[in-house]
């Protein structure tokens, strides 16, 4: 019984690896539109990486749930969970950012010949994720609240980018995703949010009292409305709302 949570943790890692495979199998495709202009794209299969990262997040939730249910929490399980999270929510999302940077530069003049150095900032994200998880493992005070944004939250946000890119009809949003400078800024902000000590709520309930869980209930309600109205675009809205509500209700919920 004590090994069941570890099996789920390893499944988290497995799906993270599958996500990386999906990302690496997608090369750039060069096409030409009716005006003869060059159009560069990535085959749509990359959105499968988002699916596998999402499954990894579900499995990641259940390994902790099962560990508590069977009273099978262990120091090894804690370390194993962080190692899996680095891959599934650090490395895999970084590869998505890497591909979006490639695609963004490829649309520019001589962009296909861009130096790899311009793509390396994508890997700041997993470095920050690893630091965040190592610090978390040494801190026993984050059961009902976090210091810095949890790594899975950042991983899921980045995993939404391919789904937003391929399944929305908003040209402005796609231009934002293909702007390397916006991506650089996003990498810097997300990395800082992970390694920061901002007080953020954990989505765990000590009880179900509305007064003691206002932020969580507000987040849940607005998240559901956003998903209905915005589909995949709801992901960045929910992420930003999570941070804002955490700061607004600072020290009021724990």
User: 232-235: which pairs have CB atoms within 8 A and are 24 or more residues apart?
Assistant: 232/160, 232/163, 232/164, 232/167, 232/168, 233/164, 233/168, 233/170, 233/173, 235/156, 235/157, 235/160, 235/163, 235/164
Q: Per-residue pLDDT tens for 139-157? A: 776 666 788 999 999 999 9
The per-residue pLDDT for 106 is: 81
pTM score, whole prediction: 0.88
Distance (Å, rounded) from C-alpha 32 to C-alpha 38?
A: 5
What average pLDDT does range 111-118 have in this prediction? 80
Q: If you average pLDDT over residues 209-227, what whole number do you get?
A: 86
The residue written with tokens 């902000």 in the block is 189
| 33 vs 28: CA distance, rounded Å | 16
Q: Which of 9, 12, 250 is nearest to 147 (CA)?
A: 250
Q: What's the distance, CA 20 to chain centroid?
A: 14
How is the chain split into domains, by residue range?
Answer: 4-197, 206-254
User: In 3-state terms, what secondary structure has residue 186?
Assistant: helix
Dump pLDDT digits (tens) for 3-61: 777 888 899 999 999 999 999 876 666 666 666 666 666 666 788 999 999 999 999 88
- Which residues touch 171 (CB under 8 Å, ≥6 apart)? none
**What pLDDT is stored for residue 146 in this prediction?**
83
Residue 139 has a CB neighbour count (10 Å cut-off) of 11
Q: Where are the beta strands (DSSP E) in 21-135?
A: 29-32, 38-41
CATH class of 4-197: mainly alpha
Q: For residue 162, what are the CA distances in angstroms to 91, 97, 186?
A: 16, 10, 15
Question: 163 and 174 in contact (C-beta within 8 Å)?
Answer: no
pLDDT > 90 in the chain, percent? 50
Q: What is the pLDDT of residue 153?
A: 95
- Total length of the chain: 254
């Amino acid at each position: 019984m004590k090994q069941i949570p570890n099996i789920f943790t390893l499944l988290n890692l497995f799906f993270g690896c599958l996500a990386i495979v999906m990302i690496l199998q997608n090369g750039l495709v060069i096409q030409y539109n009716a005006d003869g202009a060059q159009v560069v794209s990535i085959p749509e299969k990359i959105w499968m990486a988002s699916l596998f990262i999402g499954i990894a997040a579900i499995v990641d939730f259940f390994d902790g749930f099962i560990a508590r249910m069977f009273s099978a929490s262990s120091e090894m399980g804690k370390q194993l969970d962080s190692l899996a999270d680095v891959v599934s929510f650090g490395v895999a999302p970084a590869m998505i950012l890497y591909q979006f940077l490639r695609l963004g530069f490829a649309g520019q003049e001589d962009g296909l010949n861009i130096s790899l150095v311009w793509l390396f900032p994508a890997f700041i994200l997993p470095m920050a994720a690893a630091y965040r998880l190592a610090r978390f493992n040494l801190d026993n005070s984050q059961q009902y609240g976090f210091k810095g944004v949890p790594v899975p939250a950042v991983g899921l946000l980045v995993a939404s980018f391919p789904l937003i890119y391929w399944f929305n009809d908003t040209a402005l949003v796609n231009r934002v995703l293909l702007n390397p400078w916006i991506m650089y800024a996003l990498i810097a902000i997300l990395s800082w949010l992970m390694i920061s000590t901002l007080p953020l709520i954990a989505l765990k309930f000590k009880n179900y009292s509305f007064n003691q869980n206002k932020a969580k209930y507000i987040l849940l309600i607005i998240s559901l409305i956003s998903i209905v109205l915005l589909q995949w675009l709801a992901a960045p809205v929910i992420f930003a709302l999570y941070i804002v509500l955490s700061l607004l209700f600072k020290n009021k919920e724990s």
